[in-house]
Amino acid sequence: MTVRPSRLNGSLQAPPSKSCTHRALFCAALADGKSEIQSPLLCDDTLASAQALSKLGVTALWDQGNVSVTGNRELKKPSSEIFCGESGTTLRFMTAVCATTPHEVEISGGPSLLRRPVADLAIALHELGADCMSNQGYPPVHVKGPIRGGSVKVPGNVSSQYVSALLLVAPLARKPLEVTIAGRLESKSYVEMILEMQRKFGVQVNANDDLTEFHAESQTYRPSDVRVEGDWSSTAFLLVAGAVAGEKVRVGGLTQETLQADRYLLEVLKRMDARVSTDSSSVTVENSRLEPIEVNVSDSPDLFPAICVLCAATDDFSTITGIRRLRIKESNRVLAMSNGLKQMGIETRESENSLTIWGGKPHSAIIDPHRDHRIAMAFGALGLCTDGVTIVDAECVGKSYPSFWQDLRSLGADVIAR
């Protein structure tokens, strides 16, 4: 895709939340009976979860904006390897789910997923009674349950998906299960999201106030009907586009009372003096003269590429901290954003846990997003205020936001498919 200079104006609806859709699919899969998930996100990652679960005998029928899931607590033995595409959530959740069955299962994925760590989760499941082996800490994973319960400790600064995966299956253990977090739990809200989704499916996992200790008794998931809210993570790129190249951009379908970590973008925009307003279900952003910022993204790492775009559009230097884990996402996002910005004439300086960006006037470039959906969307937004940016492999946005380029066009962006 080539994105040319544009002024955005208009309204659209936020895409559904990927994180909520994943969690609803897995909770529904573990309930005996039929659940209805309203307004789910249909994208590469959520399809990967549905297809992986189908290998265990779970059916998911997508129809007219909803998905009906028929779960089965007696999960069947898969006839072949379970392939998770490029979805880290699918990999970690499936590893834990398969550890509750007596079947030997191999779980693998695409090229970037094979570089995503799984060691601490595999170790925890092994300590809980499952046979779980990885390839030197990475997929493919070989797992066979069941888990018996007991106590386990996991680090809080590698991936919150480890914690969420363990909590997902904790009620299915034969005995009570306790999870303790070593150090500070980063991306805490993603763990809160699994706890909330479990409650909707009749399961209660108890936690202390700072989410460092969890306790679950043996319980049974019950079928439920749930609605998926709008996705603050994907919407971030539309709001950023509005701030750097918009007249007025309004995005609806965004719940203000949300557990999603990436609502934090509102605070970032306000701290940068962006012209932003909200009501109970929408956010409006207008073209703004942005001020530099120092911001920590350890609890909302998916915002990093979007915030880089905001920083590049200022007239001074900004520093983003809390970036250590971003090197083990779909790509090394720190390197991908730093190199891409340099190609566009924006100076950056990287340390172990921070990136400093000297804002200015970005110029045209050909950007390789390294098959990373959030990198592609970030440079798509930044391209609006340049003399033209071409993004190769632009279809990688299908991982989380398949209609991104179409939605950008609907707001007036000059986007040309090459």
Instruction: With a cut of 70, list the residues of the chain below it in pLDDT.
Output: none
- Characterize the bridge pairing of strands 2-4 and 389-391: antiparallel
- Give the pLDDT score at 246: 85
If phi > 0 it is left, if psi is from -120 to 50 it is alpha, else beta; for residue 234 that is: alpha
Question: Residue 200, exposed/middle/buried by CB under 10 A (0-12, 13-18, 19+)?
Answer: middle
- Give the pLDDT score at 331: 81
Question: Residue 377's closest CA among 267, 234, 211?
Answer: 234
- Give the pLDDT score at 392: 97
- Give the pLDDT score at 151: 96
User: At which residue do the structure tokens 């901290």 appear?
Assistant: 321
pTM > 0.85: yes
Active site residue 63: no
Choosing from 302, 368, 372, 407, the catalytic residue is 302
Write out the two tokens for 60.
């998911």
Q: How far apart are CA 55 and CA 373, in angstroms?
A: 26
- Give the pLDDT score at 329: 81
> Which ranges in 149-303 belong to alpha helices (H)?
160-169, 188-200, 232-245, 265-271
- Give the pLDDT score at 47: 97
- Give the pLDDT score at 68: 98
Residues 307/237, Cβ–Cβ less than 8 Å:
no
Give all domains of the chain, ordered by start, each with its CATH number. 2-15+229-416 (3.65.10.10), 18-227 (3.65.10.10)
- Give the pLDDT score at 100: 97
- Give the pLDDT score at 73: 84
- Give the pLDDT score at 64: 85
